[in-house]
Amino acid sequence: MKVLGIGAHPDDIEIFMYGLLSIFKKEGHQVYTMIATDGAKGGAYTGYKLAKERANEAISGLEKLSLPIFLNLPDGELGAELGHRKIIKENILKIMPDLIITHSENDYHADHKSLSLITKGAVSHYIPILYCDTLMGINFHPNYYVDITNYQESKKEAVLKHKTQKPDRFVDLIELMNSYRAAQCNAPKGNYAEAYSFVPSFPFSDIREILPAPLKLRPFHIENQHGFL
């Protein structure tokens, strides 16, 4: 199966979907990654120099998954022109993945929202889309949790490659978010999960068949159950 992760900025795939993509890779699937904008506005300086540096950081961050495809659309202005949709759609169709993972339209950043809506509008009737968690989980209602405990260390290492982004703060963020998502499923401390949302639409009413196994069920009322509560 071909799985495509699309992030708005050069560090988004690592922060929001690295664990699940690592599982797909381990299971023998073909993993593709695509970065929509050039990230030229997110740093201590801006412009071409930053974009080039961030592209190298992304190549290094994603080296265990795939060589990213860079669309180089303008940072902070994704979706401002109709041509952006055409470029995104054409590049998705070149790969023709069996599953797309991208941002939620409820996420905090305008580029994340735009990418989500563009992707949905362009291909959701023939490619199923799984939406990744929002920053701090705000306005996000997951219906699929996946255990990424075995990949949390390599996820941190990948995030740390983004030196222009002061990455320590994002390492703190994923520590908090991924342990909270695991605790929501009653997994004990030291476990990590990523949370996703799938919105059914014809003909993809149920896509569980193509997703890795969800987080283990841990009832909290059973004695000696190894859980958070």
Residues engaged in binding Zn ion (CB under 5 A): 8-9, 12
Of the pair 25, 109, the CB lying nearest Zn ion is at 109
- Residue 214: other Cβ atoms inside 10 A: 15
Q: How far is the CB of 42 from Zn ion (least distance, A)?
A: 8
Residue by residue, DSSP assigns the chain as -EEEEEESSTTHHHHHHHHHHHHHHHTTPEEEEEEEE--TTSSSS-SHHHHHHHHHHHHHHTTTT-PPEEEEEPTT-TTSSHHHHHHHHHHHHHH--SEEEE--TTSSSHHHHHHHHHHHHHHTTTS-EEEEPPGGGTT---SEEEE-GGGHHHHHHHHHT-GGG-THHHHHHHHHHHHHHHHHTTPPTT--EEEEEE--BTTBS--GGGSPP-PPP--TTSTT--S--
Q: How far is the CB of 62 from Zn ion (least distance, A)?
A: 15
Closest residue to bound Zn ion by CB: 9
Q: How far is the CB of 81 from Zn ion (least distance, A)?
A: 19
Is the peptide bond between 212 and the residue preceding it cis, with omega within 30 degrees of 0?
no
Of the pair 9, 29, the CB lying nearest Zn ion is at 9
Q: How far is the CB of 60 from Zn ion (least distance, A)?
A: 17
Contact partners, residue 176, CB within 8 Å, separation at least 6: none
Q: How far is the CB of 12 from Zn ion (least distance, A)?
A: 4
Q: How far is the CB of 123 from Zn ion (least distance, A)?
A: 20
Of the pair 53, 147, the CB lying nearest Zn ion is at 53
Of the pair 20, 187, the CB lying nearest Zn ion is at 20
Q: Please tell me the total number of residues recorded for the chain in this structure.
A: 229
Of the pair 9, 113, the CB lying nearest Zn ion is at 9
Of the pair 10, 97, the CB lying nearest Zn ion is at 10
